[in-house]
């Protein structure tokens, strides 16, 4: 073990995760103190970096926060926290101005006005984008540069938080594993902010990078934090499908510009499922595609934009055009094979309206958190907005709640170990989740999944990357088995209706039976 791996590092803020929520929280926090920002991969590898569609904000004269609020509540299937959605939609405009002040350049049209896109579930064009369909990459590049320039922010890459340090109900930092040094570090701070993203990479078919495995949820659960809504895993309707290859997201914005979905027989089917057709909310479109695939015994359906202006599509969606072309598909002349893929973890660490968890000193923001803004189905392009709005609120609230770290029993490590070859070791479990805890579930499949997950965990220690993944997978399966209805992205073949009696949330906490919170 090297000298660096034995370090005790102290700061005013410890931020775990380097997606949009983590970067923005670090920049906000650095205005008030010293920050340690850790990320388990390189700074550029995150879900936010891969985000294509954009970020939603009611900016045009024809739009309003009230309309954005209504669209979000409808998409959430009566399970959103209305106060959280009000905050999200009302604070969107100042959040966009702050991003522009940091250097983010949103695309504008020939007249110099913001070029707003349309996506499923939105009643207005309100999606800001940057560099065409490379919005996430553009935003993360700008914010990463700001972080690297900031002398108050110490960045630790390839560093995984392995345990939250908690003493008498208060979090004072974390133990971490430094992959390059193969050893542990102790990170102490009066404020710890989780911004580790979601868990969709636990599935076989996913739009997420391999790092999105839910370790923040596992960290928080093991420390005693409440975990909420884990049954709601959103599947993006249109990921590029090529058998045996990793999924690539085909942005919803293409459908916003007029692209059609066709079944294997070449029939446009979405008008038969919803009045908004291809612009229905994601849960509806994903379920419709699943149904058409099942009817045809096919692995995919097709997205067609051959009827649209080729030059515009190449320019507006340049990264999608180039990626598909590398796979032998010219999207301006050929159909794009698409299928649903695990995309966004709606559930996570339960927080209040300011990102505060039930553990003093611990906050959460972004996809790892469950603020209640998404309900049972996230409205497109609200995710990046949530990152910015609630990261800022978390930092501002933490400033008023800080307590000195004081003396703590310090350990060098907890014996945590990483997976040597994550893709190979996890692949059978990823397939299990996709088949039995996927887009459509039933009691038999969920029960079998839980039995297999329990069996897999018996021969492994409790401090490992493997155990954390199994823990998160088990929480998802347990919640899905408990919720005996179909609502939003949670679909049960054996309970196909949405039930008024289930307008409530499932909450897990270590050492306790599952609890329920009513809206």
CA-angle at 253, arms to 250 and 254, nearest 5°: 65
- Phi-psi map region of 126: left, alpha, beta (phi>0 left; psi -120 to 50 alpha): alpha
Structure tokens of 304? 């067609």
CA distance linking residue 356 with residue 354, whole number of Å: 6
Whole-number Cα distances in Å, 321 to 47, 334, 338, 378, 386: 20, 11, 14, 26, 28
CA distance linking residue 63 with residue 309, whole number of Å: 27
Q: Which residue has the tokens 């024809």?
A: 62
Residue 220 near residue 502 (C-beta atoms within 8 A): no
CA distance linking residue 174 with residue 415, whole number of Å: 14
Residue 332 near residue 310 (C-beta atoms within 8 A): yes
Residue 478 near residue 514 (C-beta atoms within 8 A): yes
Q: What's the 3-state SS for 81-133?
A: CHHHHHHHHHCHHHHHHHHHHHCCCCCECCCCCECCECCCCCCCCCEECCCCC
Active-site residue, 400 included: no
Catalytic choice (282, 356, 441, 483): 282
Q: Is 178 helix (H, G, I), strand (E, B) or coil?
A: strand
| Cα first-last separation, the chain | 50
Q: What is the DSSP string of 188-227?
A: E-SEEEE-----GGGSSSBSS-TT-S-HHHHHHHHHT--E
Tell me the catalytic residues. 282
């Amino acid at each position: 073990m090297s000298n660096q791996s034995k370090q005790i590092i102290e700061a005013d803020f410890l931020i775990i995760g380097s997606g949009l929520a983590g970067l923005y929280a670090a920049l906000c926090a650095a205005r008030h103190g010293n920050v340690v920002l850790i990320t388990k991969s390189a700074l550029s590898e995150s879900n936010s970096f891969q985000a294509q569609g954009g970020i939603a904000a009611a900016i045009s004269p024809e739009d309003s926060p009230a309309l954005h609020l209504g669209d979000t509540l409808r998409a959430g299937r009566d399970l959103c926290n209305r106060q959280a959605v009000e905050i999200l939609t009302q604070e969107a405009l100042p959040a966009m101005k702050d991003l522009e002040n940091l250097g983010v350049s949103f695309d504008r049209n020939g007249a110099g006005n913001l070029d707003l896109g349309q996506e499923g579930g939105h009643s207005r064009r309100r999606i800001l984008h940057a560099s065409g369909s490379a919005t996430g990459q553009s935003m993360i590049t700008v914010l990463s540069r700001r972080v690297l320039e900031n002398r108050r922010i110490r960045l630790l890459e390839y560093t995984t938080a392995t345990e939250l340090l908690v003493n008498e109900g208060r979090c004072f930092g974390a133990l971490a594993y430094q992959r390059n040094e193969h050893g542990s570090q102790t990170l102490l701070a009066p404020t710890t902010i989780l911004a580790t993203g979601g868990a969709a990479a636990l599935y076989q078919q996913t739009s997420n990078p391999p790092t999105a495995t839910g370790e923040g949820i596992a960290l928080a659960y093991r420390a005693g934090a409440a975990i909420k809504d884990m049954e709601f895993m959103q599947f993006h309707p249109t990921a590029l499908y090529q058998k045996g290859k990793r999924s690539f997201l085909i942005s919803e914005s293409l459908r916003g510009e007029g692209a059609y979905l066709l079944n294997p027989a070449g029939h446009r089917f979405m008008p038969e499922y919803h009045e908004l057709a291809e612009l229905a909310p994601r849960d509806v479109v994903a379920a419709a595609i699943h149904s058409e695939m099942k009817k045809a015994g096919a692995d995919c359906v097709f997205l067609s934009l051959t009827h649209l202006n080729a030059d515009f599509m190449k320019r507006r969606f340049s990264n999608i055009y180039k990626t598909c072309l590398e796979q032998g598909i010219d999207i301006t002349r050929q159909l794009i094979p698409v299928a649903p893929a695990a995309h966004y973890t709606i559930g996570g660490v339960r927080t209040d309206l300011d990102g505060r968890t039930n553990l003093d000193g611990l906050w959460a923001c972004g996809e790892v958190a469950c603020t209640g803004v998404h309900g049972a189905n996230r409205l497109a392009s609200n995710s990046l907005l949530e990152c910015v709005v609630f990261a800022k609120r978390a930092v501002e609230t933490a400033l008023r709640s800080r307590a000195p770290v004081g003396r703590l029993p310090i350990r060098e490590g907890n014996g945590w170990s990483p997976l040597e070859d994550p893709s190979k070791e996890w692949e059978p479990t990823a397939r299990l989740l996709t088949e039995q805890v996927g887009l459509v579930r039933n009691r038999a499949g969920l029960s079998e999944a839980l039995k297999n997950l329990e069996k897999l965990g018996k021969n492994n220690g409790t401090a490992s990357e493997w155990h954390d993944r199994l823990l998160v997978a088990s929480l998802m399966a347990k919640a899905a088995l408990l919720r005996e209805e179909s609502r939003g992205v949670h679909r049960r073949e054996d309970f196909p209706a949405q039930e008024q009696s289930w307008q409530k949330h499932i909450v897990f906490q270590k050492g306790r039976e599952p609890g329920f919170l009513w809206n």
